[in-house]
Structure formats: C-alpha cells, structure tokens
Amino acid sequence: MARKKDHPNLIHGSIMRPCFMTEEEFEEGYKKSIFYVDKEFKSEYEKHISAMDHIADIAKSYIYKNWKLVKDWTDLEVVVIHGPTGESTYYYSYKEKIRKRNYTGLASDIFMKFDRERKRKQNPVVAMNSVVLDPTDGDFSVTINGKEHWWIQNEAVIVIADYIEKQLKKQEDEKNN
C-alpha cells in the first residue's frame, strides 16, 4: 500500500494498530473507539460494509452531476481498475520532491533512480472524457485520456469524487479572490 504522506489523495486504512500489553488493556483500548461493539459482530461488520457501498453510490451520483465543472484534472492521483479484465491503471502527475535532507553517495543514487523512474512512468490525467452511471445496477464507468474503464471500483469512485469536491472549492475560492 502506498504511504499516505507520499500519496495523500489515495485511500488509506489503518496501517498501525494500537499496541497493548494485556488482554484487558486491549479490550479497554477499543471500548474508547466510536466503532466499539460488544455483540452482533457479523451484523455490525456488514452494516459498515453496506454503509461504505452506500457512500460510494452517492459519490457516483455526485461525480455524474459535477465532473464537467472541473477545469483541471492534472493533479488527480487514482488507481482505476477496469472491471471486466481487472487491469489497473495508475494515473498521477510527477511532482519534484524536496527532500528534508541532502543525501550523498548510494542513498542519493537510489533516490535519484526512484525519482527518474516515477517521472518516466507518470501518467497524468489530461482529460476526463466521459462518465456513465447505470442507475439500474449502480455500475459506474469513466473514460480518462480516451481510455475506457468499465465498472470501476468504489475506492476510485471515492478518490474521484474527493478530487472534484476539492477542485470545485478551489475554483470557487479563486473566483472570489
């Protein structure tokens, strides 16, 4: 999974879990969570999964209504999976990194190699060409840079909706200034 600080626009879950020294501390630690349950575990888990699907479906409608309003897609970073084949496409624009310290020798060579590779393989979104929402079953497809992606996964839907939301806010702020 990509690191959140390097890829803030992708979706990240829990990477590190809390650490407890005893079983009692373990239970007490989780009791403080807003997600704490003490019964009907399967049902609660299914509710959370259903809620995620519900949010993704709402995001599909949001994208469908607003995608044409976005003026600049070049900063969209998203992995889109083409449903029928499972082929994934990673869209991103290469951004030069300013490192917190100067590296020399082998470390510098390794970082330079990584940067050259990312720059060479960059695949920026030049255009969002079309969006299709099938209201009968919720299937959602997009065409990016002329490449069709049918029945894309919910994570990509959420990332695209988040990008649109941020871009529209940015465009509104620029208009008001």
DSSP string, 114-163: HHHHHHHH-B----EEEEEE-TTT--EEEEETTEEE-S--HHHHHHHHHH
Which residue's entry shows tokens 């065409």? 143
- Reported as type and span, the H/E element at residue 176 is helix 154-176
| Contact status, residue 76 vs residue 7, Cβ threshold 8 Å | no
pLDDT at 69 over 50: yes
Q: What is the pTM of this model?
A: 0.79
Mean pLDDT of the residues in the chain: 87
pLDDT at 2 over 60: no
Taking residues 129-133, report their average pLDDT. 98
Q: What is the structure's pLDDT at 175?
A: 92
Domain range list for the chain: 44-93+124-176
Helix extents (H) in 71-104: none
Helix extents (H) in 13-153: 23-31, 41-66, 105-121
| Contact status, residue 140 vs residue 157, Cβ threshold 8 Å | yes
Find, among 92, 111, 53, 79, the residue nearest to 1 by Cα: 79
